[in-house]
Amino acid sequence: MWRLWNSIIVLCFLAGLLLTPAMALTVKENYLFYCAPCHGIEGRGDGPNATPTQPVAPRNHRSKKEMSKLSDQDIINVIKFGGRATGISTLMPPYKNTLTEEEIVELKDYLRELCQCRGPE
């Protein structure tokens, strides 16, 4: 009986490995993959999409001055719904169907680390 339980546990573990979504990335991986093309690897707003032909420059995530104007919920809303729904540039796309709620909150925390700042009280 014990052996049977062991086998079931091992099978469940293997099935879990196979069924784990391929997209489960760390917050840094998510930032580099989704955000850095515009905002830059270090978050300074200088990714390869920040070309002189763009109508606006991507936000510098290290700017304490700019980032402290945004509340945590503002940041979450921008990531989730994009610039168009939040009154900023339409070049910021919505990620609500690409990233999970948890990943979006992790990214918000990561941005707070980059700017070393908090939102308005």
Please tell me whether residue 75 binds another protein under the rule CB under 8 A. Answer: no
Which CB sits closer to another protein, 101 or 116? 101
Site for another protein in 5-44 (CB under 8 A): 22-23, 25, 29, 32-34, 36-38, 41
Which CB sits closer to another protein, 7 or 90? 90
Contact 119, 70 (CB under 8 A): yes
Please tell me whether residue 45 binds another protein under the rule CB under 8 A. Answer: no
Which positions lie near another protein, rule CB under 8 A? 22-23, 25, 29, 32-34, 36-38, 41, 47-51, 53-54, 82-84, 89-98
